[in-house]
Each structure stands twice: as structure tokens, then as C-alpha cells.
Structure 1
Amino acid sequence: MYRHLLVPVDDTDASSEAVGYAVEFARLLGARITFLHVLTGEAMIGQRRALTVEPDALAWELLSKAEAAARAHGVTCDAACGADPAPCRAILSAARERDSDLILMAPRGTHDGDGRLGTQTANVLAGAEQPVLVCAVEQRPVPRRVTGALFDEHRAYAGVLHAWLRVLRSARLQDGCPDVAPLRACAEYMRACSVLRHGGNSNSCLDERLRGRTHVVSAELDELALRRRRHDRLTRELSESVERYAHGLMPALELEQAVSAYATFSWEHHGREAGVVFPAARRYLSDADWNAIDTVLGKRMGPRAHAQYGRLISLINETWADAGGDARRVSSPGELAAPWACLRT
């Protein structure tokens, strides 16, 4: 049976679903996983992310999330980055070099959004020397809408963290002092998200309904509840750190390292949600459960929240432009003290 799975990861809902399937499959088989993210040389810009995200920073985020999902299932894993304008070539090369006996992937390519196969996946199927397992993506409208909205919330949160680090790194590389205004705006965004979690949001609604349907993931839900409390504490501490920096009581580098460690913690938390809780929800929740969660989510995502997020993004982008920022000159998160999961063997 299969002993070593190669699982490509990217910034799509389908890929996040595939990670969940992969870690469950590997746990049942007693197999290990290599997660692979392919750097194509382009920064992430567009509808899915309101801010530019440098390729190496995105790899740090995505691979940290995937590894966290595997660890939550007790699955041995490592992570790697490839580089190729055509991801299928990097996937096939990694499968050969790492002696994987199964490639497990989502439909990937130009048609990822509608669940069709995708050109990159078709090319992997055509060129692979080992079996390729293509995961089906969620097609039920309400579960797909709910999990899609939650994935988008993860991306928005990640986008603010990437922007926060980008402002700090840019100032460091130019031997300048970061502007306090965008730093405070990022801290306030994180604090507001923390408060929202205590107000009965869609994630907590999903957790409660899942507890009522199965005990399979009770331990993971308990762990995530503990991590949320720790996350709230870290959020408060980061806000205090920004104020200490503003008053000259903390060096910019120390603040940058604190934000980087916070980002790693956040990636891991989101990875456990996406890789453990969401797959269980798809399996055990009823249509009535999904409709109830969808109602909560609809009330939460109002125009005011979108407007506040838009103002934050505008402030960060204006600060970046005024500083003459160039995404290609921003250093890797791996240069900081916080651990970076990529490229372990």
C-alpha cells in the first residue's frame, strides 16, 4: 500500500480540501506526506487577496497550515518548495526526487473554481510515473458557500498579517522607522477579530453543531478552544507591543519578530481548522446545520465590515507606496527568529 504521499498545496479552496483528505488518508494508511508548494515567481494579487503577498511569504503560510493539519492527525510530514512557471513540472520532479508512491492533489489549473479537472492536474496525470489521486471538491451549494467564506476570512486575516510584516521589513531594509498608523490599524483589526470570536460567530456555531453530531473530533475542538484563548492573549500582547514601539520602548526588529511568531501561530490554528474541523463538518453535519451556520455567516458579513477592511487595506497600501516599497526586495520570513517550515528534509 502507499507509504509516501506527495501533496501539492496552493491558495485555493480546493487545495485546502485536498489537504484535509490527504491527512485523513495518510493516517489510515500509516503513510507520511510531503507537502509541496510551487513558486511560480509571481506575487499573489487579485480578488482572493486585497494585498500583494510575496511568493516566499505565501509558501510559509500555506505549508505551515498543511503541516499543522497533519500533526493534528498524528501524521508524519515534511514540506518543500519548488520553483517553476509550470507547477505540473515541479510536482512531477518532486515526486521522482522524493520517491513518492502516490500524488494526491486537488483539481488544479484554469478551472479550479468550478470543480473541473484543471490543466495543471491533467498534465500531472499525463506525465506521472506513479498513481495520481484527484480529490473531488465540495459541490453542495450551502456547505461550499460557508466553507468558502471561512477560507476567505482566513485569507483576509493572513493578508493583514503579511502586510504588517511587509511594513516592518521594508523599514528595516531601508534603515527607517515604520509608520505607527498602519501598525496600530493592523493591531486593531486583530483585536476586533478576537472580540468577534467571542460574539457567537460562524466558526463557534460550526463547532457547537459538530459536537452535537459526533465525538470524533471532540479532542481537536477542545484543543482549538484552548488555542483561541491563547490567541486572544497574544493579540492583546501584540497591541501592547505596538504601543511600546510607538513610545520608543521596543525596537522595530523585536516587534517584527513578535508579529512573525504570531503569524506562525495563526497559520497553524487555521490549518487545524481547515484540515480537521472542516472535513468532519462536511461528513457529519446535516443540511439543517449548514443552513443555520449560513444564516449566522450572512448576518456577520455586512457592508460595514467590508468597508472597515477596505479602509485598512488602503492605509497599508498608501504607506507602502509612500515608502517606495518593492515586493521583490522584501526579505523572507525565514530570516527572522520565528521558525519557517519550508525546505525540511
Structure 2
Amino acid sequence: MIKTPFSEHRERNDMKSALTVIRDEHRALAAVLRGLQFTVEQARNGRQNPDLVLLKSMLDYIEAFPDKLHHPKEDKYIYRVLRERDPDTAEKLDVLEEEHRQEPEWLGKLRSKLEAFEQDSTNFEQFADAVEWYVNSHFSHMNMEEEVILPIAEKVLQPEDWKTIDAAFASNEDPLVGVGTQRQFRDLFSRIVNLMPAPYGLGPERG
């Protein structure tokens, strides 16, 4: 059972904006990852044929939003300042930043596994195993951020730090409620949710 990255948290008013955006983006990514895992499990158990359109849409979302917008802002606006305010976090931040750097390669390998499966159904188990590893890695990463890094940031970053951070993350699109300027991410997320069957999405349940 994968541990959810969304633990109870306390937010001061002066830093609520950026932290809320970050956690909402984690929540959106978690929904897509759960849906990806669910879709593969349903196929593995013989309950339904894999929905290739849905699977490709999920990978497109991960590339378009977390990889290209969310992670770079974490590195630039949270991690960089946190290193200065609390040098003891450096080792943990090194791990997280390295995972951010490796993520495009991980996603590329997952796409390759999906393409191999699309060409030959006997490659399904390799794709399914890759999905399980990929999902576990993402949740481990988000757990570290949610349970360790963000609580430290709440304690040690200064109001002037959060002013810059809030402004940076305020420009993000919230994939769940559609507030912001990056409508393509909201539209892609909405498409995924409508394709996914209940309980992970709004699509019809599949037997």
C-alpha cells in the first residue's frame, strides 16, 4: 500500500498561498498517478483492456505540468533559498533535485515501455512493472517534500522569502480548480479525469 503524500499540515497566513499551490499540484499529480496505477491493475487482472488513449494522456500530463512547471519552480524558489536558510537540508535537497533531473528520463523510459506494449501485447508485464516502479518513486518523492522539506521551510524561511515564492507559484495553473493562466494544463487534467472510470475519475465504471 503506497502511503499518501498528503499529511495534516499547519500553514501561517503569510505563506499559505505558495504552500497551498504546491500541495494542490501534488494532489493533482497523485490523482493521475493513482489513475495510471488503477488502469494498469485492471488490465493485469483481466478486468478490462488497457485504454491506450488514457494512458498516453496521463503521461502527457506528467510531462506538461509537473516536469516542466512544478519541479523547476520547487528547485528555483524553494530549494535554493532553503539551502541558504538551513544548510542541514542540503543532503535531502540533493536527492530531490537529482530526482527532478532524472524524471524526464524516467518518463521517457515509461513511454518506450508503453510503445513496446502497443506494438506487441506480450510486452504488457514489462510496462506494468515500470508503472509500479514509477508510481512508487513519485509518491516517495512527494512524501519527502510533504513530510520533511515543506515543514522545515515553514519554520526557517522568512517573510521576504515567501513573498517571492508566493508570487512565483501564484502564476501556476491549479489543475483541480482551474485558477490561473495556464489553461492547457487544466484542460488536459480535465480530459484525464473524464476518461478515468470511477472511483478515480468521472468516466463510467467498468466491469
TM-score, normalised via structure 1 length: 0.51
Confirm or deny that 1:174 pairs with 2:46: yes
| Conserved? CA contact 2:54–2:195, under 8 Å | yes
> How many angstroms apart in 1 are the aligned matches of 2:101 and 2:74?
17
Residue 162 of structure 1 is aligned with which of 34, 38, 41? 34
Residue 209 of structure 1 is aligned with which of 68, 71, 81? 81
Matches within 5 A, 1:1-345: 59-62=1-4, 138-174=10-46, 176-192=48-64, 193-197=66-70, 200-248=72-120, 251-301=123-173, 302-303=180-181, 304=183, 305-317=185-197, 321=203, 324-325=206-207
Gaps of 5+ in 2: 174-179
Residue 246 of structure 1: how far off its partner (Å): 1.5
Query: Residue 21 of structure 1 corresponds to which residue in structure 2?
Result: none
| Conserved? CA contact 2:59–2:111, under 8 Å | yes
Structure number, greater radius of gyration: 1
> How many angstroms apart in 2 are the aligned matches of 1:274 and 1:175?
34
Distance 1:149 1:197, change over 3 A: closer
Residue 249 of structure 1: how far off its partner (Å): 6.0
- The sequence identity of aligned pairs, in percent, is 23
| Conserved? CA contact 1:142–1:294, under 8 Å | no
Greater than 4 Å deviation, 4+ residue runs? 318-323
The structure with the largest strand share of the pair is: 1
- How many residues in Structure 1 have an aligned counterpart in Structure 2? 196
SS of match in other structure, 2:131: helix
In structure 2, give the amino acid aligned to 1:61. Answer: K
The structure with the largest helix share of the pair is: 2
> How many angstroms apart in 2 are the aligned matches of 1:224 and 1:139?
22
In structure 2, give the amino acid aligned to 1:60. Answer: I
In structure 1, give the amino acid aligned to 2:172. Answer: R
Distance 1:309 1:203, change over 3 A: farther
Greater relative CO, 1 or 2 (CA 8 Å, sep 6+): 2
Residues 33-65 of structure 1, C-alpha deviations (whole Å, 9 max, x = no match): xxxxxxxxxxxxxxxxxxxxxxxxxx5232xx5
